[in-house]
Amino acid sequence: MKNRLKNEAKRKALQLKKEQLFNIETLYNGLISNDRASLSKAITLVESSKLAHYELANQLLEKCIKHTNTTIRIGVTGVPGAGKSTFIEAFGKHLTTHGKKVAVLAVDPTSSLSSGSILGDKTRMETLAKDPLAFIRPSPAGTSLGGVTRKTRETIVLCEAAGYDVILVETVGVGQSETIVHSMVDFFLLLKLAGAGDELQGIKRGIIEMADAIVINKADGDNVKPSKLAKVEFERALHLYPPKENGWLPKVLLASSTEKQGIEDIWSLVNEFYKQMATNGYLEDNRLKQLKQWFLQNVENLLKAVYFEDKGFTSAVEETLKQIETKAISPFRAASKLVNSFHK
């Protein structure tokens, strides 16, 4: 009898814990009260792939979206080895020293074989992780394009509701598909290395065309002279591009994250960008454009989730895959046939 009562008490405690975890009012109040545990729980909720949690996440995001107008969203990208994590730690510490609350959404690459991620950004940013004014959330990239997680946009909204002034989105640096991060930030910062063989590649269309600033990182020691030469090359390359629609002229700066050099100049440039964009109205227009993009992306994600929750649909997919394996039907015809059979 005693064991049964004990087990019943444990069950109720566990149920209460679950209810508290996904109690929207509790989570929201915790968020706006700067409770880091509530922020972590809220992110866990929006990252959930369960349809049962989808509506709860929507309710929370509906409450939080009104807090997104006074923040600075910065995307930090660059090839692996460019020193993104080291730069973000130095940049983040500079901001917290000036009283800014900084949230870092650090995305780790996901193995296509094991589907695993190291999630070691808190280790790489050990000093910043201990800062009470900083919040670091490492997440796996999964199969998402652009080196950002499927729920990065929603996580940005939650961090802004929690009172963070600057949101830094560190991406994995996977190539031109990386440009998806451009659709969720205000300022797009590209890290480059001197002597990496990509000065001339900067002339090509692609990710550099979207950059609001290019930072030649690791410009210290014997690398100072090569970094200055790389700066000149990139400045020449930028002159080949047409002016941005927002009127901003991208700059090329030098920085040494380990020596903490050039960090203040980069922050000054970001502030200059924000003043100019706020004055000409582009900042507000861009945020509204992003909201529409988020809507379309969510429609796509929800439709996909709804279809694959349908056992009839998943069964039809498996049967169609068998037909494709035997080459009884082409993948193109099979896809058309499958969708048409469920969309009437």
Token pair of 337 as six digits: 């046939």
Q: Which residues of the chain have pLDDT under 50?
A: 15-17, 19-20, 109-120, 142-149, 176-177, 199-200, 202-204
Would you state the pLDDT for residue 124?
A: 72
Would you state the pLDDT for residue 145?
A: 40
Would you state the pLDDT for residue 2?
A: 57
Among the listed residues 139, 137, 163, the one whose alpha carbon sits nearest the alpha carbon of residue 71 = 163
| Domain 2-64, CATH among 3.40.50.720, 3.10.105.10, 1.20.5.170, 3.20.20.30 | 1.20.5.170
Would you state the pLDDT for residue 139?
A: 67
Q: What is the pLDDT of residues 153-166, one digit of tens each?
A: 899 999 999 999 99
CATH topology classification for 68-279: Rossmann fold (3.40.50)
- Give the angle 242-248-254 at the CA atoms, nearest 5°: 100
The whole-angstrom separation of Cα 313 and Cα 134 is 44
Q: What is the pLDDT of residues 186-232, one digit of tens each?
A: 999 999 988 765 544 544 456 788 899 999 999 999 999 999 999 99
68-279: same fold as 2-64?
A: no
Would you state the pLDDT for residue 229?
A: 92
Where in the chain are the domains?
2-64, 68-279, 291-342
Would you state the pLDDT for residue 194?
A: 87
Sheet with 251-254: strands ordered across:
134-140, 102-108, 166-170, 72-78, 187-193, 213-217, 251-254
Token pair of 135 as six digits: 């919040």
Would you state the pLDDT for residue 5?
A: 57
